[in-house]
Amino acid sequence: MKFHQPPNTFIGNVHIKVENLGRSLEFYKRVIGCEVLQQSETKAILGSGGKGLLTLEQPANAIPKQGRTTGLYHFALLLPSRLELGKFLRHILELGYPIGAADHLVSEAIYLDDPDGNGIEIYADRPSSGWNWQSNEVEMATKQLDAEGILAEAGGSRWEGLPAGTIMGHIHLHVANLVEARQFYGKGLGFDLVSRYPQALFMSTGGYHHHLGLNTWNGVGAPPPPENSVGLKQFSLIFPSEQERKEASGKLEALGFDVNENWTVKDPAGNMVHLGILA
């Protein structure tokens, strides 16, 4: 997990909007295995090992997820080991919940949607010593997952919820324009381009395979969704220090983006980003 601590900048809490908080809590507890750390009538903070990872909020007059808009493609929970991924895979197969899966060379991943269509990835990284880098870009692919091998890794161990040590590994966003998004997250926020895919870019700090995925798969020029739509409300970037946060804010201001007093700013596609620091 060295890529998710200083001196790197990485993803913190992801805040999503849902139509029915009770329904979503049932899903995130039963299917994903989250702990409920705080809860009110319209909002809940979920996590593992006492650490918050995800905020759910039911806005007033919530409407279903809107197609062909910018926003969340998926958020990705990084498990501490392949063994834990095997335990989760057995759990999700026993539930019969629909999933997708892929071997990305740098990681092994399981994909699913919550009841509102918010995308989720549950994954485990392969050792970074085995990642293949060429000209500052890391090789990634989408291949068939070795499900049998992953299940064998878990042996007879049972899934008992998200283990302590689970973190928010990355976030993947629908954006309207890749050139504009790369400038915002690169020149503004200090992320390096590390991989490309048709209509998609992957960016990171500190040599990770990606903290950020950016794609135009919902269409170049896609509009942001309505404020009360299910989907992403905001996500946090965690900077190593107050000084580096201020420097990033200054760079964004120089590029013409308004960072408000709460350290939040909209990217060119309308995705809300909170500039955070380690507590």
Is the whole-model pTM more than 0.75?
yes
E strand or H helix that includes residue 93: helix 82-95
Cis peptide before 240, with omega less than 30 degrees from 0? no
The conformation of residue 229, written as its DSSP 8-state character, comes to B
> How far is 250 from 248, CA to CA, in rounded Å?
5
Please tell me the predicted confidence (pLDDT) of residue 279: 76
Q: Where are the beta strands (DSSP E) in 59-118?
A: 71-78, 100-103, 107-113
> How far is 267 from 32, CA to CA, in rounded Å?
29
- Do 240 and 248 touch, CB atoms closer than 8 A? no
**Phi and psi dihedrals of 141, rounded to 5?**
-150, 175
The conformation of residue 88, written as its DSSP 8-state character, comes to H
The conformation of residue 219, written as its DSSP 8-state character, comes to -
Note the pLDDT tens digit of each residue in 94-150.
999 999 999 999 999 999 999 999 999 999 999 999 999 999 999 999 999 999 999
| HEC assignment per residue over 166-207 | CEEEEEEEECCCHHHHHHHHHHHCCCEEEEEECCEEEEECCC
Please tell me the predicted confidence (pLDDT) of residue 108: 98
189 is written with which tokens?
A: 């926020």
- How many other CB atoms are there within 10 angstroms of residue 204's CB atom? 21
Query: How many residues are recorded in the chain?
Result: 279
Please tell me the predicted confidence (pLDDT) of residue 1: 74
84 is written with which tokens?
A: 């834990």
Of 87, 41, 52, 266, the residue nearest 173 (C-alpha): 266
Residue with tokens 């964004």: 252
> How far is 145 from 104, CA to CA, in rounded Å?
9
Asked if CATH classification 3.40.50.410 holds for the domain at 64-230+244-277, the reply, yes or no, is no
Segments of the chain scoring below 50 in pLDDT: none
Torsion angle defined by CA atoms of residues 28, 230, 63 and 116, in that order, rounded to the nearest 10 degrees: -40
